[in-house]
Structure 1
Amino acid sequence: MSASLLPPYLLEAVAAHGSARAAACARRTLRQDMHLRTARAGGEAPAPRELRASPGRPSRTIFDAGGTEQLPGERIRDEGEAAVGDPATDEAYDGLGLTWQLFSEAYGRDSLDDRGMPLLGTVHFGTDYANAFWDGRQMVFGDGDGELFNRFTASLDVIGHELTHGVVEFTAGLRYADQSGALNESIADVFGSLVKQRALGQTAEQADWLIGAELFTDRVRGEALRSMAAPGTAYDDPVLGKDPQPAHMDDFVVTQEDSGGVHINSGIPNRAFHLAATALGGRAWERAGAIWYAALTGDGIAANCDFPAFAALTLAAAERRGAEEAEAVRSAWAGVGVEAGSPASGPADSAGVSAPPASAPPADDDTPVQLGRSGGFAGLSRTREFRVGELPREDASAWKRLLAESLPSEWREDPPQQPDRYVYRVACTEAELDVRLPEARLPDWVRELFRRTLER
């Protein structure tokens, strides 16, 4: 499983609307992300040197890529060694350790896999790389563009979020689409926030409930990437756009983009956790967090768990703790329009995409096509509708070829299973085509064609 921090839509917004320098950095980051995801999908994840599990204690190693894209980089700080004075190195080291401490000391979990898995991080990755990602083995952090984004080690809850995707993978294995995918993202936000709250010694009332508050520079009109207390209010910026998260099922977003809106609709369970935590008061990781952790790691959770099913699991875990906990959890889910244990209905999940026909009619210059791309840390999408003949001659010819061949089945996957990755959607009524295409499965020339088409 691989997971990156910033979604493509944010980087593409910067590429389209940012200053010349910020736009260039965003385009470079998008290209780097594409190649990194392709390499990871092909089994080329970094193989750190002779690092073994250390049951019962943290095992951290921080590497320095020195502005290159070589992983893991030069080993710069190991477990137990003193701070080196480089902010990125020391922030990464501390963030990995504080995440380990939350799961170990609050919930008795021995690292992400509960078997002492080493925690690894690489800092100073790439040139002005405006992102961070978890590749299933280690965290990787860029230094940001310095204009819109600060260095990506600066936000503790973001480090906790990405590492929690690993915990989800080793426990419930939540299907990364529709409501189960939104739960995957929400749980990562929940425990990312709890890592920060515990490190700061904050109560639920004192916490800001923001995710990524330290990432934006003062040029961005916004507080953070997401707000768990007030989904949809985190930012409203001329370059980045407006935070799209709903806070209630009345505003549930039905979409085939973003793997069924996993980064958008996660605002609903995020708000439910905030309501439960603030109703119970005190230190959120001790009461509400323990309930959510029990639901995540218990026997009753399924990979396709939806909001009502997860609400029922949290309510059952709360009832085992006491009447006050049960009432707080029941009221929290009711406050976001989710009835614990009721079957998902109505707009709960996005409609599936159809498989292409065995053959399709030939495309011509007037053939209309819709191309979308979603994924990344927040997961909003970018979509373009066009007619084939609007494109440059070579690209138009390539699209005609793709539509005539109906896109090979080996490129398709429904649903996508890896958090925070790019997924394309291609829809063409005349070709009877509506498919999702994980970027990692596409040939280089197709990825580049899609990128050029969206950029135009």
Structure 2
Amino acid sequence: MTTPITPSTPTSEPQRPSSSTPVWCGIVPPYVLEALATSGDPHLEERARETLRLDQLRYERHGREHSLRDGGAVVSRRANRSTTEEPNRIVHDAENTTRLPGTRVRAEGDPATDDTAVNEAYDGLGATWDLWHTAYDRNSLDDRGLGLLATVHYGRNYDNAFWDGSQMVFGDGDGEVLLGFTRSLDVIGHELAHGVTQYTSGLVYQDQAGALNEHISDVFGILVKQRALGQTAEQSDWIIGAELLGPTVQGVGLRSMKEPGTAYDDPRLGQDPQPGHMRDFVVTDGDNGGVHINSGIPNRAFHLVATTLGGNAWERPGAIWYAVITGDIRADCDFATFAALTEAAAVTLHGEGSAEAEAVRAAWREVGVTEGAESAPGSPPVPGAPSPTPTPSPSPSPSPTPAPDPGRVTEPREVQLRRTGGFAGLVRERTVVLDQLPEIDALAWRSLLVGPEPRLQEFAGGPMQPDRFSYGVSCAAPPIDLTIPEPALPDTVRDLFDRTLGT
């Protein structure tokens, strides 16, 4: 069970972390919210749309307190530790608005309130702090005693929870498909683990590195829950978000680390898209390269290590993974490199030929990442495999480009809008003929798309953020193909996108 935490009385609000790397980590993947937004149920669609709208309001504004990289490699992992190693939790209530942090309702050492969400958040922050401190000798997320801030009742029927680079934020869910997010201890642990990643490996939120970012959060999120419940690896259900699904949903949670791809199969949510082997690796431009999807592969590897070794997963398996994320890992690490790092850490901690080292090697083989396994399309070759030599093709003669007619304005007729990302990873896509939209929306789209430098380009090209949505906008004429991070959008444009998607 969780070691009791001795409360301390804070003298001030916890210091907020700063980060030069934009961080925004929501627990529900975009493909889940997008499925709800097109479920055919007006009640669910409205609430999913509102969640997607609010997800665009938050944008990382803080710069990182310390530079962690030199040429892409992490050069420092352990900052000067605070002399006080006690949790400092403060919970606020947004009162169904989107103002953060909201009204302060419970601080470290205060008695429980009459609000279940407040108490669940407070206890979840404590259980997470306790895992990092007791199991890994880490003094909060930054190893310097960072205070833990949380806000509950964010928005109205908000279907998400996220770490925004400085605090946790919890929605109440729609009450039908997704319930209140403070209910799930592993969700709280997952999002706070994004904070640890922010201060350690800094894994970029794209492609395989981004999937590892999500994987790390799932690992330490499930370990928070297992430790709090006193569960061994064999006793755990290995389900992320088991407490979040409503009673009518056909599923057991948002993700299964034991059997990726089996967590849900529901008319409103769709089917769990996660693979558990590299042969099923999903190549996609959405979801920042499938970060919520392909994380199923390393998730299954960790489950195999933990159940092979048995006992408490936060001990030997968790310590190996912790050594990797606080060691010499690059921010652009891929699956094969991460596998090699975990194998090396197991040997360092337990010796060559140890049960731990063999369990780690076997797990990565089992999921197809190492030792001659078939590479996923678009993924780096497995170490040791020969790289094919491409045959150069003759370059075609360039076609003459007609000079643009400065007096001619190309009116857009059709636009394709696609939303990916989010904790649940749901995808939503729609192609619309502008003349068939309400006149005010058609005019708004044209104002964004027309011109030598379309206004929409102002919002594109920003950094992607963990567990946030991203939007793809494409148009044949004028030729436009943009990817836009959700938090970079002004409210008016965000609302236009929501209306266009029917969310």
TM-score bin (small chain)? 0.7 to 0.9
Report the Cα offset of residue 400 of structure 1: 4.4
Report the Cα offset of residue 423 of structure 1: 1.0
Corresponding residue of 2:394: none
Given residue 461 of structure 2, which amino acid in structure 1 is its aligned partner? E
- Choose which of 377, 382, 388 in structure 1 pairs with 2:423: 377
Q: Give me the whole-angstrom Cα distance separating, in 2, the residues matched to 1:31 and 1:12.
A: 12
Q: Give me the whole-angstrom Cα distance separating, in 2, the residues matched to 1:139 and 1:9.
A: 22
Corresponding residue of 2:35: 13
Judging changes above 3 Å, is the alpha-carbon distance between structure 1 residues 173 and 239 closer, same or farther for their aligned structure 2 residues?
A: same
* Bigger shift: residues 441-450 or 217-226: 441-450
- Larger % of helix: which? 1
Q: Give me the whole-angstrom Cα distance separating, in 2, the residues matched to 1:307 and 1:445.
A: 39
Report the Cα offset of residue 170 of structure 1: 0.4
Report the Cα offset of residue 61 of structure 1: 1.3
Corresponding residue of 2:200: 171
Judging changes above 3 Å, is the alpha-carbon distance between structure 1 residues 235 and 117 closer, same or farther for their aligned structure 2 residues?
A: same
Is residue 348 from structure 1 mapped to residue 379 from structure 2 by the alignment? yes
Is residue 77 from structure 1 mapped to residue 106 from structure 2 by the alignment? yes
Is residue 271 from structure 1 mapped to residue 303 from structure 2 by the alignment? no
Specify the SS of the correspondent of 1:34: coil
Corresponding residue of 1:418: 465
Judging changes above 3 Å, is the alpha-carbon distance between structure 1 residues 128 and 435 closer, same or farther for their aligned structure 2 residues?
A: closer
Is residue 31 from structure 1 mapped to residue 31 from structure 2 by the alignment? no
User: Where do 1:256-405 residues align within 5 Å?
Assistant: 256-299=285-328, 301-320=329-348, 321-322=350-351, 323-339=354-370, 346-348=377-379, 363-364=410-411, 368-405=414-451
Query: Where do 5+ consecutive residues of structure 1 fail to align?
Result: 44-52, 350-357
Corresponding residue of 1:355: none
Q: What percent of counterpart residues are identical?
A: 58
Is residue 247 from structure 1 mapped to residue 276 from structure 2 by the alignment? yes
Query: Where do 5+ consecutive residues of structure 2 fail to align?
Result: 1-22, 63-81, 381-402
Judging changes above 3 Å, is the alpha-carbon distance between structure 1 residues 138 and 239 closer, same or farther for their aligned structure 2 residues?
A: same
* Bigger shift: residues 213-222 or 18-27: 18-27
Contact 2:33 / 2:425 at 8 angstroms: preserved in 1?
no
Contact 1:182 / 1:263 at 8 angstroms: preserved in 2?
yes
Q: Give me the whole-angstrom Cα distance separating, in 2, the residues matched to 1:446 and 1:127.
A: 20
Given residue 372 of structure 1, which amino acid in structure 2 is its aligned partner? R
Contact 1:178 / 1:261 at 8 angstroms: preserved in 2?
yes
Q: Give me the whole-angstrom Cα distance separating, in 1, the residues matched to 2:502 and 2:283.
A: 25
Q: Give me the whole-angstrom Cα distance separating, in 2, the residues matched to 1:181 and 1:10.
A: 18
Q: Give me the whole-angstrom Cα distance separating, in 1, the residues matched to 2:166 and 2:295.
A: 25
Contact 2:411 / 2:477 at 8 angstroms: preserved in 1?
no
User: Where do 1:105-124 residues align within 5 Å?
Assistant: 105-124=134-153
Is residue 439 from structure 1 mapped to residue 486 from structure 2 by the alignment? yes
Report the Cα offset of residue 154 of structure 1: 0.6
Q: Relative contact order: is structure 1 or structure 2 higher (C-alpha 8 Å, sep ≥ 6)? A: 2
Contact 1:312 / 1:340 at 8 angstroms: preserved in 2?
no
Judging changes above 3 Å, is the alpha-carbon distance between structure 1 residues 407 and 314 closer, same or farther for their aligned structure 2 residues?
A: farther
Judging changes above 3 Å, is the alpha-carbon distance between structure 1 residues 26 and 234 closer, same or farther for their aligned structure 2 residues?
A: same
Q: Give me the whole-angstrom Cα distance separating, in 2, the residues matched to 1:99 and 1:341.
A: 38
Report the Cα offset of residue 364 of structure 1: 4.2
1:412-446 alpha-carbon deviations (Å, 9 max, x no partner): 227x3421112111234554443311123234443
Q: Give me the whole-angstrom Cα distance separating, in 1, the residues matched to 2:163 and 2:450.
A: 37
Given residue 460 of structure 2, which amino acid in structure 1 is its aligned partner? R
Given residue 339 of structure 1, which amino acid in structure 2 is its aligned partner? T
Two-structure CA RMSD over aligned residues (Å) = 2.7
1:227-247 alpha-carbon deviations (Å, 9 max, x no partner): 000011000111111111111
Judging changes above 3 Å, is the alpha-carbon distance between structure 1 residues 304 and 222 closer, same or farther for their aligned structure 2 residues?
A: same
Count of residue pairs the alignment pairs up: 434
- Choose which of 138, 143, 167 in structure 1 pairs with 2:172: 143
Specify the SS of the correspondent of 1:325: helix
Q: Give me the whole-angstrom Cα distance separating, in 2, the residues matched to 1:370 and 1:302.
A: 36
Report the Cα offset of residue 314 of structure 1: 0.5
Judging changes above 3 Å, is the alpha-carbon distance between structure 1 residues 397 and 69 closer, same or farther for their aligned structure 2 residues?
A: closer
Report the Cα offset of residue 263 of structure 1: 0.6
Corresponding residue of 1:224: 253
Corresponding residue of 2:84: 55
Given residue 28 of structure 1, which amino acid in structure 2 is its aligned partner? E
Task: Give the TM-score normalised by structure 2.
Answer: 0.80
Specify the SS of the correspondent of 2:247: coil
Judging changes above 3 Å, is the alpha-carbon distance between structure 1 residues 431 and 344 closer, same or farther for their aligned structure 2 residues?
A: farther
Judging changes above 3 Å, is the alpha-carbon distance between structure 1 residues 70 and 340 closer, same or farther for their aligned structure 2 residues?
A: farther
1:125-161 alpha-carbon deviations (Å, 9 max, x no partner): 3333332222222212222222222221110000000
Q: Give me the whole-angstrom Cα distance separating, in 1, the residues matched to 2:245 and 2:500.
A: 29
Contact 2:35 / 2:426 at 8 angstroms: preserved in 1?
no
Q: Give me the whole-angstrom Cα distance separating, in 2, the residues matched to 1:32 and 1:452.
A: 13
Contact 2:369 / 2:375 at 8 angstroms: preserved in 1?
no
Given residue 232 of structure 2, which amino acid in structure 1 is its aligned partner? T
Corresponding residue of 2:163: 134
* Bigger shift: residues 135-144 or 210-219: 135-144
* Bigger shift: residues 25-34 or 191-200: 25-34
Q: Give me the whole-angstrom Cα distance separating, in 1, the residues matched to 2:60 and 2:87.
A: 28
Given residue 374 of structure 1, which amino acid in structure 2 is its aligned partner? T
1:381-435 alpha-carbon deviations (Å, 9 max, x no partner): 2122344444444444444454444646542227x34211121112345544433
Contact 2:278 / 2:374 at 8 angstroms: preserved in 1?
no
